[in-house]
């Protein structure tokens, strides 16, 4: 089912921030804001929940540390113990100080690589995915706020957005993907 979305174009990030505050105060639903650079504080003003990616990074680091400990114990202690520099490999704990760099590197390796994969999956950035940017100017010097038209009077909404400082307003049909 198609619905109407109102696109408001702004040319300044401070005006955009004020417009987002006013739009939320009027209880309009902001679907997305497209910016040419990160606008600090925009996520809080839009009412977005904080990211949980840091928690996943910690869990991925623990996975990397577990893999490192398991791998080194198997390779250096159980499968092929060697007497290196007069230090026999009787137990993992005795040799752990030598394994610390490997444990650190695999912790960072797993956390970094799995975080990139998680970010792409969470952002739905698949290989060869078509860009979803509604206006090419948002990659250069303009800002776009997409507001759900829903059951609202579109003329009243358009006038409201012009009053917030929008340079231009366009109403587009949007396919619901819910």
The confidence score (pLDDT) of residue 1 equals 52
pTM exceeds 0.85: no
37 pLDDT more than 70: yes
**In the chain, what are the domain boundaries?**
4-34+144-173, 52-123
Percent of the chain with pLDDT over 90: 62
Helices (H), the chain: 13-25, 42-46, 53-72, 92-122, 154-163
pLDDT in tens, 49-95: 988 889 999 999 999 999 999 999 999 888 888 777 777 777 888 88
Task: Say if residue 3's pLDDT is above 70.
Answer: yes
Q: Is 71 helix (H, G, I), strand (E, B) or coil?
A: helix
How far apart are alpha carbons 142 and 134 in whole angstroms? 12
SS3 51: coil
């Amino acid at each position: 089912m198609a619905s109407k979305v109102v696109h408001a174009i702004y040319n300044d990030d401070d005006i955009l921030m004020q417009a987002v505050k006013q739009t939320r105060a009027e209880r309009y639903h902001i679907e997305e804001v497209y910016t040419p650079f990160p606008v600090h504080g925009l996520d809080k003003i839009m009412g977005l929940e904080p990211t949980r990616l840091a928690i996943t990074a910690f869990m991925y680091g623990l996975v990397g540390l577990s893999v490192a400990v398991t791998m080194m114990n198997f390779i250096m202690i159980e499968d092929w113990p060697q007497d290196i520099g007069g230090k026999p490999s009787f137990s993992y704990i005795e040799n752990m100080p030598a394994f610390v760099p490997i444990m650190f590197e695999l912790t960072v390796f797993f956390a970094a690589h799995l975080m990139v994969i998680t970010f792409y999956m969470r952002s739905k950035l698949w290989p060869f995915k078509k860009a979803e940017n509604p206006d090419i100017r948002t990659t250069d010097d303009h800002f776009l706020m997409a507001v759900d038209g829903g059951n609202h009077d579109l003329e009243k909404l358009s006038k409201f957005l012009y009053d917030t400082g929008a340079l231009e307003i366009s109403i587009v049909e949007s396919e619901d993907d819910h």
